Structure 1
Amino acid sequence: MRLQVNGKISTHIDGSANNRPLFLMFHGYGNDENEMARIIDAVYAVEDEKPDYLSFRGTYARPYMGGHYWYPDGCGVDERQRECASVGKALVQLLDSAAFADRKKILIGFSQGGYLSYRLVQAYPNLFDAAILLSPSFKGEEDVQLNSSIQFFLAYGSSDRTIPLPDQHNARTVLEDAGHLTYREYPGMGHAICDEEIADIRDFVNHL
């Protein structure tokens, strides 16, 4: 698998870029890599310098309606996990470079991209430093144990019915049991992103 990516990577002769976090970003169903770039731009809107990031495009193009996805809508748990594993292998190959060796690596994903980010931590529990999961589904992850000490940010809208409530509760349970979870719920918000959420992500990142 070859990942399609859009990004911004700083290069400094003195090596100071190694102290900057690197965001690895995964969009939701039916969107593309620009979705996550807009989110991270909003998080860093008050900063003088934008962060370094790699924003990935979903593996599959959605026919007729446009956009991309990581796994088919409505597919089974086994297929979802296989697709996430394939992305993980390609991502690890990409990150196997001296340019990324000392970077603080932060996963961030919305919906399908949030679930994918979680599965990446399951597969590579020591590779990443934090994961920001925005409205992910956790279907099929019941009674799963996560053995990772990274910091998690998990968020949902209180009116999100795209992700069933049992899946939302399961996500919180799995991540709370792993420890190091920051959880937020936004009143009245559906399957979306709000200004308060952007501010909370900014605060989470600043305290890593």
Structure 2
Amino acid sequence: MLRMTGHVEAADGQADGGLLFVMFHGYGNDESEMVRILDAVVAVGDGCSADAAAVARPGWLSFRGTYDRPYMGGSYWYPDGCDVASRRRECSVVGDEVVSLLDASALRNRRRVLVGFSQGGYLSYRMVREHPGVFDAAILLSPSFKGEEDATPPDSRTRFFLAYGGEDRTIPVDDQLTARRVLDASGRLVFHEYPGMAHAICDAEIADIRGFLESL
């Protein structure tokens, strides 16, 4: 069963209930990682109370990885080093459950934006591939892309934001190039690379995410 946190206001019967962020963290972290990123994008201040911060954010759901790391803490979506078939299978299980959840009446009329970092970025990409009519945009931050060398562009209307650090060696350069090639072929890709950044998030990236969302 998926573990998650979130905040979604009622849509009040509107045809478009606004943005809904559907978020997945990276290896060894938890759902709070993506909430921190969202707070930075929507500029929720440090002095803001928890209740006020929840109201200031758009609708959001942030999920915790299905596997927990013993002793070290944190969670992950698929075992490090597993083969391509196993990785895709794990992503399919999570994706099917999330998409079923999004069919709830309170969530149905939202414009859905996937946001994922590293493993969570790959999971978000796989969800677009397997559920092509569900998501309006996918923000893929330093995603793993191993095993997608022969992939065709996703057959969907989803718009993509893809970003890597220029010094990211956690994700091999060849996998980064694969991600850019596959998604660029969709004709709906915005790509950014950040010089000097490793496998992380930077202020310039937050600003670019904000600009991408404003264009939706």
Counterpart residue number, 2:158: 150
Q: Give the counterpart letter for 1:50 in structure 2.
A: R
Contact 2:113 2:138 in 1 (8 A): yes
2:182 is the alignment partner of 1:183 = no
Contact 1:10 1:17 in 2 (8 A): no
The equivalent residue for 1:206 is 214
Give the equivalent residue in structure 2 for 1:125.
132
The reply to whether residue 3 of structure 1 matches residue 11 of structure 2 is no
Aligned match for 1:19, one of 7, 17, 20: 17
**Match runs of 1:85-164 below 5 Å:** 85-145=92-152, 146-164=154-172
Contact 1:11 1:17 in 2 (8 A): no
CA distance in 1, matches of 2:129, 2:93: 13
Pairwise CA distance, 1:158 = 0.2
Residues 44 and 57, structure 2, Cα contact 8 Å, conserved in 1: no
Structure 1 range deviating more: 107-116 or 41-50: 41-50
TM-score w.r.t. length of structure 2: 0.92
The offset of 1:16, in angstroms, is: 4.9
SS state at 2:56 partner: coil
Which residue of 2 is the match for residue 32 of structure 1? 30
Summarize deviations over 1:137-161 as a string: whole Å, max 9, x none. 1100012112122100000000000
Identity %, equivalent residues: 62
CA contact (8 A) 2:15 2:109 kept: no
Alpha-carbon distance in structure 2 between the residues aligned to 1:137 and 1:46:
29
Return the TM-score normalized by structure 1. 0.95
Partner letter of residue 29 of structure 2? N
Displacement of 1:18: 4.3
Partners of 2:184 and 2:176 in 1: CA distance: 12
1:177-197 deviation line (CA, Å, top 9, x unaligned) = 111100000000000000000
Question: 1:185 aligns to what SS in structure 2?
Answer: strand
Deviations 1:123-177 (A, max 9, x none): 0011110000000011000121121221000000000000000000000000001
Secondary structure of the residue aligned to 1:24 is strand
In the alignment, is the contact (CA less than 8 A) between 1:149 and 1:179 conserved in 2? Answer: no
- Structure 1 distance, partners of 2:3, 2:16, is 23
Quick one: which amino acid aligns to residue 200 of structure 2? A
SS at match of 2:114: strand
- Measured against aligned partners, the alpha-carbon deviations of 1:37-86 in whole angstroms (never above 9, x if no partner) come to 00000000069931110000000000110000000011111110000000
Superposed displacement of residue 11, structure 1: 2.2
Give the Cα–Cα distance (whole angstroms) in 1 for the partners of residues 87 and 172 of structure 2: 17
RMSD: 1.5
